[in-house]
Amino acid sequence: MSGSVAEVPKAPAPSAEHATSWRKNRKLDQWIAFWSVPFFFNLFGLVFVPLSWMMPPRSPSSSTPHIVDFMHSHNLLIACVILTLAYGLAPVSNACYLMQVKRMSVSPAFRYSMMIGAITGAIVGMLFPMFCFGLGAFRPGYNSGVLTMLYDFGYLAFIGSLGCFCVMWMAFGLAIILDENGILPKWLGYYTIWQYVTELMAAPVWIVKTGPFAWNGLMTFWFAMTLYVSWQIIVYVCIYRAIKNQPEAELDNASPELRPEAVELRSGTSA
C-alpha cells in the first residue's frame, strides 16, 4: 500500500514496485498479444470486405469474365499487399489463447493439437488464398483458365480448409470442458464445440457451386459466420478476464519475490 493518501485514489497494486510503470507489468507480453487480435481482425476485415470485396465470398459459379476482372482488380492488389505484411500477426493471436490453455489441468496433448491445428489452419486457410489472389493481382499475364483455377483454389482453401480448424476447435473446446482449474468457463468450451460444427458444415462447399451449400451459401457461409463472429468476440472477452485474473505468482516470467520458491523461503515453511 502506498504511504501517501493525498494522491488520486487508485486500486492497490499487488506490489509497490508495480504501481507506477506499465512497462514493468509482468503480463505485458500477454496484453500485447491480446490487443494485437482486434487490430489484426479489423485489418483483416478491412482487407477482405470493403477493400477487395473478397468477402462475402463471390459466387463459385461466376462467369469467366467476372472472375478475370476480379483477379485483376486494383483493390485486390492493395488487399494482397496488406495481407502479405500482416499475415505474421496470426501466430500472435493464437499464442494468446495458448498461454491460457497452458494453465489448464488437462494433458499438454490438447495444447499441442491446438498449436498444430492453428499452424496448418493459418497456412492453408490464409496463406494459400493470399498466394492465389496475390498471383492474380501481382502477375497480370495468366490466361483465364489459370485465373479461374486460382479463384477456385483461393476460396476453397479459405472456406473448405476445415480439417485443421476442426482439430483446433475440438482440442480447445475439450480442454476447456475437462479443465479442473476453471481457467475459462465451461459453457465457453461447449460454444467452442460449435465452432467445430461450423467447420463440418463447410464440407459441402467442395461439392456444390450454387445454393445454400456453396461457399457463399446461407448454410455454409452466412450461418457459419454468425456463429464464428459471435464466438470470436465472446472468447475474446473470456480471455481478457482470464489474463486479468491470472495470479501474478503463476506467470512464467513472474518477478522473483513472487515465485513459489521465494515465498517458501521467506515464510520458512514448505507448502
Partner 1 sequence: MTNVAEGVTPGVDNSRPDDSRRGHVPGDSSMWFFVIGDLVIFGVYFVGYMYFRGQNHELFLQSQARLNLDIGAINTVMLLTSSLFVALGTEAARAGNRVAALQRFWIALAFGAAFPLLKMFEWIPEICSGLTPGTNLFFMYYYVMTGMHLCHVALGLVIMCFILRNLRTSKAPKISFVETGATYWHMVDVLWLVLFALLYLMR
Residues at the site binding partner 1, with contacts judged by CB under 8 A:
177, 185-187, 189-191, 193-194, 197, 200-201, 203-204, 207-208, 211-213, 218-219, 223, 227
Continuous H helices in 55-143: 64-71, 74-86, 89-101, 108-122, 128-138
Give the residue with the Cβ less far from partner 1, 139 or 241: 241
- Least separation, in Å, of the C-beta of 187 and partner 1? 4
The least distance separating partner 1 from the CB of residue 193, rounded to whole angstroms, comes to: 7
Smallest gap from Cβ 50 to partner 1, in A, equals 27
Q: Which residues lie below 8 Å from residue 100, measured CB to CB, with a gap of 6+?
A: 183, 184, 239, 242, 243, 246
- Residue 90 gets the label, from left (phi > 0), alpha (psi -120 to 50) or beta, of alpha
Q: Provide the greatest CA pair distance for the chain.
A: 78
- Closest distance to partner 1 from the beta carbon of 209 (Å): 10
Residue number, 122 or 201, with CB nearest to partner 1 = 201
Nearer residue to partner 1 within complex by CB, 119 or 203: 203
In the chain, the amino acid numbered 260 is: P
Rg (CA), the chain: 23
* Length of the chain (residues): 271
Closest CB to partner 1 among residues 20, 226? 226
In the complex, least distance from residue 197 CB atom to partner 1, rounded to whole angstroms: 7
Task: Tell which phi-psi region holds residue 268, choosing left (phi > 0), alpha (psi between -120 and 50) or beta.
Answer: left
| Cβ distance to partner 1 smaller for residue 119 or 177 | 177
